[in-house]
């Protein structure tokens, strides 16, 4: 009899789309192409919804590390379905060390997190301080998703501005965070660019992404462009 992990792998391989695999692999240069099956994200999400109902799904969640990119994504979407906060957080904590790419990292955001902001914030602080690329990225992503609206506090900007990393995928998330913060909390966020709290590359990338946003008006974009650093430390 097949294990739940074997069945999930077999099902994913049956959904393979080779041209899409080739496209997907190019977006993740740090993931070996042979570890990408080629299954579109909506199909994985739909499949994970069914897999989450399997009484033995816990065996799959414990069967780490997974080999295929898509197995990780099924794992992420199954976690999203967990309704109990403590159980969900336990599974997130178990999974984070095995995330090895930006796509898996960014694709799951459990709804139950929104009902436990205080506890989530403690985890977010811990993740961002971890020094582990995708754990840091995930922590900043959760701070961006859950704490830039009614639960925003200016001190959260300090948490992200204080991150220093040589990792591209960390710095891109910092830029994305500040671009989103500028769209949602402009007055609180713009001083971080005026005073150049970020490293030069991340500073300029945040401005670039902010200027691509429809939520930032023309005058704000013109001002932000004036804050760009002409020479940056990473040669881009």
What's the rounded mean pLDDT across residues 18-39? 96
pLDDT of 27 higher than 90: yes
Mark 12-40 as b/e (b = at least 16 C-beta within 10 Å). Answer: beeeeeeeebeebbeebeebeeebbbbbe
104 part of a folded domain: no
pLDDT of 232 higher than 70: no
Query: Are residues 130 and 30 part of one domain?
Result: no
Q: What is the domain extent for residue 227?
A: 116-236
179 part of a folded domain: yes
State the pLDDT confidence band at 128, using cuts at 50, 70 and 90: very high
Residue 171 DSSP SS3: helix
pTM for the model: 0.94
What's the rounded mean pLDDT across residues 28-48? 97
108 part of a folded domain: no
Of 70, 99, 128, the domain-final residue: 99
State the pLDDT confidence band at 199, using cuts at 50, 70 and 90: very high
Contact 160, 128 (CB under 8 A): yes
- pLDDT recorded at residue 230: 86
Query: Are residues 126 and 20 part of one domain?
Result: no
Q: Give CA–CA dist 141/180, Å, rounded.
A: 11
Question: Containing H/E element for 75?
Answer: helix 69-80
| Per-residue pLDDT tens digits for 69-124 | 999 999 999 999 999 999 999 999 999 999 999 999 999 999 999 999 999 999 99
Q: Token digits for 160?
A: 């992200």
138 part of a folded domain: yes
What sign results for the dihedral spanned by CA atoms 219, 223, 226, 227? negative
- pLDDT recorded at residue 1: 85
Question: What is each CA distance from 2 to 8, 50, 61, in whole angstroms?
Answer: 10, 17, 16
Of 99, 129, 155, the domain-final residue: 99
Query: Are residues 84 and 157 part of one domain?
Result: no
Query: Are residues 120 and 75 part of one domain?
Result: no
Proportion of the chain above pLDDT 70, given as a percent: 97
Of 52, 68, 99, the domain-final residue: 99
Q: What is the CA radius of gyration of the chain?
A: 19
């Amino acid at each position: 009899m097949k294990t739940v992990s074997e069945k999930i792998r077999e099902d994913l391989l049956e959904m393979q789309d080779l041209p899409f695999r080739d496209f997907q692999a190019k977006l993740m240069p740090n993931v070996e192409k042979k570890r990408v099956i080629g299954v579109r994200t909506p199909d994985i999400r739909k499949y994970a919804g069914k897999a989450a109902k399997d009484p033995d799904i816990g065996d799959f969640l414990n069967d780490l590390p997974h080999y295929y990119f898509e197995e990780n994504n099924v794992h992420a979407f199954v976690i999203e379905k967990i309704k109990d906060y403590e159980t969900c957080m336990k599974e997130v904590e178990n999974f984070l060390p095995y995330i090895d790419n930006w796509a898996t990292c960014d694709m799951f955001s459990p709804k139950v997190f929104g009902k436990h902001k205080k506890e989530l914030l403690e985890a977010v602080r811990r993740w961002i301080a971890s020094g582990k690329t995708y754990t840091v990225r995930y922590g900043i992503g959760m701070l961006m998703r859950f704490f830039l609206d009614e639960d925003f506090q200016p001190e959260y900007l300090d948490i992200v501005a204080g991150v220093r990393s040589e990792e591209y995928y960390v710095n891109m998330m910092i830029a994305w965070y500040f671009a989103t913060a500028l769209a949602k909390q402009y007055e609180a966020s713009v001083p971080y660019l005026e005073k150049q709290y970020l490293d030069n590359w991340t500073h300029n990338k945040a401005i670039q992404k902010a200027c691509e946003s429809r939520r930032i008006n023309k005058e704000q974009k013109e001002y932000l462009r004036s804050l760009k650093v002409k020479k940056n430390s990473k040669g881009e």
